[in-house]
Amino acid sequence: MATDELRLDRYLSYVWRAKWIVLAGAILAAGIAAWNVNRQPVLYSAIANLQVGRVWKAPIDDPNVAAEIVNSDGFADQLAGKIGPSRGRIKHSIHAEAVTAGPPRAQYTILVRITARTESADDSVKLAKGAADHLLALHEKVFDEALAPHLDHQKRLEARRDELSKQGASSAEMLLRIERELDDVRASNTSPTETEKTRLISDVSKGKVERPEVLRSAATAALIVALFLIAAALIAGYFLDSRVETEQATQQSDVEGA
């Protein structure tokens, strides 16, 4: 027990001897980190939430895929040609993600969220709105392609109904079935609960203001450097004391030998 206490006191003495170096290093690291972080600009965010369209209740795109498209280089290139900023700036400033809901084991995707972050609140809104509009334009084509077969089917049913109507009573039963099917197809083609284009759920809104976390960064840097210097002091103290003890033992051996 006494040996353990002696060893602990010895280690504490190593740290104590290096206390000013540890303190100076921690303060210097905190100052450098604070200066570095303080140079970073304040960022303003803007958010656009989109609900992916559907045709006959089937989504026209996977929200996860739509988010990846927004995050892609190709999307950035296309958007840069429309609203002005460079592709690099758009890639750096815009991020899309699929938002989920429901319990942990049964989550489902409900929308695509596009977030823009720039040094200007107005620029962030403009960028988020531009990205949302471009995704809406891309989905417009997908929606039209998905709905086209159902519209063609509706036209064929309408033509068949007109043909049967001219045949009179002999085709009354068939005409009734065609009209029922036509009503169902029309309803599915136009009902907003079954067929709807991708849309913005609400206007693009300004999000939170993200300021550099100076205190946290400074404290983290100071702690890391302090721990490093303490470890260095322990190692250096141990080896220096071991060297002194070895030299003393050698000298004592020489004296006893003489």
Residue 171 counted as domain residue: no
Q: Which segment, 67-71, 226-230, 245-249, is predicted with the most confidence on average?
A: 67-71
DSSP per residue, 136-193:
HHHHHHHHHHHHHHHHHHHHHHHHHHHHHHHTGGGGHHHHHHHHHHHHHHHHHHH-TT
Residue 224 counted as domain residue: no
Residue 27 counted as domain residue: no
pLDDT tens per residue across span 149-183: 999 999 999 998 888 888 766 677 888 898 999 99
pLDDT tens per residue across span 117-132: 998 888 999 999 999 9
Q: How many domains is the chain built from?
A: 1
Q: 133-142, 227-236, 244-253: lowest mean pLDDT where? A: 244-253
Residue 137 counted as domain residue: yes
DSSP per residue, 182-229:
HHHHHHHHH-TTT-B--EESS--EEEEEE---HHHHHHHHHHHHHHHH
Residue 111 counted as domain residue: yes
According to the model, what pLDDT value does residue 257 have? 55
- pLDDT confidence bin for 2, thresholds 50/70/90: very low
Mean pLDDT to the nearest integer, 177-203: 92
Residue 200 counted as domain residue: yes
Residue 236 counted as domain residue: no
For residue 109, what is the domain's CATH number? 3.30.1890.10
CA distance 239 to 243: 6
* Strand, coil or helix: 86: coil
- Treating both helix axes as pointing N-terminal to C-terminal, what angle do 121-166 and 73-83 enclose, rounded to 10 degrees? 100
Share of the chain above pLDDT 70, in %: 88
According to the model, what pLDDT value does residue 1 have? 47
- The residue type of 82 is K
Instruction: Look up the domain containing 91 and give its range.
Output: 43-142+196-210
Residue 103 counted as domain residue: yes
* DSSP category for residue 111: E
